[in-house]
Amino acid sequence: MSAALTQSQIEEALKGLDGWSVEHAKLLKAYRLKDFKAALAFINQIGAEAERLDHHPEIHNSWNRVTLRLCTHDAGGQITEKDLTLARAIQSISLP
C-alpha cells in the first residue's frame, strides 16, 4: 500500500512540476495541443509511460485538449510518490 504525501510534501514537489496543481486531492494538469491528432499522439505517449510505471492517470480528451488527473487508489485516492513520478515522466514527454 502506498503512503499519502503530506500537504507540505505536495507543495514542495509542485515547485518542480510546471503547470501542475492540486484539485480535489488529485494532481491536475491541462494541455492544449495543435489539434486532435496531436492530442491522441500525446495520450499514447502518456500511456506508454503509465504502463512502464504501472500507474495509470485519469485522462480526458476534448479535441485538442488533454486533461490529466493523478491519484493513487491504494492510498485512498490521495497523492503519493507514484503520482509525482508519473507527473515528472509526463512532463518530460516532448509535445507533438
pLDDT reported for residue 64: 97
Q: What is the value of pTM for the model shown?
A: 0.95
Class of domain 20-91: alpha beta
Domain ranges of the chain: 20-91
Q: Residues 49-72: pLDDT tens digits?
A: 999 999 999 999 999 999 999 999
Residue 75 phi, psi dihedral angles, 5° rounding: -115, 25
The cell numbers describing 88, all together, are: 515528472
The contacts of residue 87 (CB under 8 Å, 6+ apart) are 17, 20, 27, 29, 70
The residues with which 30 forms a beta bridge, in sequence order, are: 67
